[in-house]
Structure 1
Amino acid sequence: MSQAYYPVRNRRPQRERNLKAEDLSYFEQAFTCLKEMPERVAVLRANLAYYQQKKHLPKAAKAAITRFEYLLAVTEDPEEMERRVMEDSYEGRKFRQMPLLLKGVCRQERF
């Protein structure tokens, strides 16, 4: 062992996490549908309202709902929303913790 011992240092080095393509495919598909039909932002708002009423959600899910509220207050542009959600940053990871908010965005209407 060539390094000095530091009791505060974490002994296990942190690994770098890479995003998998299959993990992001749902978000990519939802934002593609949102770009084609921007009126589907109403579905996103309805999902936000629905999940806000739920009392027993994890803390991370509540934080993601709050962040999506802030994002929709700033912009309703699907390209801007996609850029912020898909970026590899702290904010992007927090946005992606609640994929159910995009539920029903790509669903086809049946008449």
Structure 2
Amino acid sequence: MVLTPGQKPTALQLPDGSVVPIKTWKDVLVQLSLYVIQQRPLTPIPHLDKAGKKTALFSWNKPKEGIGYKETTLHGRPLYIHTNYSAASCVANALHVLRLLPDTAVAAVAF
């Protein structure tokens, strides 16, 4: 499938078959991250992003001012999902997060 420039996703099918409406590639990263955290609550935190250098995709520490993030809760504590990525990096990190689940876990995006 070839995407046209600026084409945006409209829905995400999670590994359990449920479908959530989305509007951006960042939503793909956030929704898959929330799903994986729910399925694997013992995921080590901080969890580095796909590059694996210094940016924590999941962290207990709130990002610095101006850095995009989604706040959620895990084990009764605030957990921050780093979202300050390009569209391509959002997809790469969403696939990175999906690898925390068994090999049979798949997700799909609709346009």
With normalisation by structure 2, the TM-score equals 0.36
More helix by share: 1
Decide which structure has the larger Cα Rg and report it. 1
With normalisation by structure 1, the TM-score equals 0.36
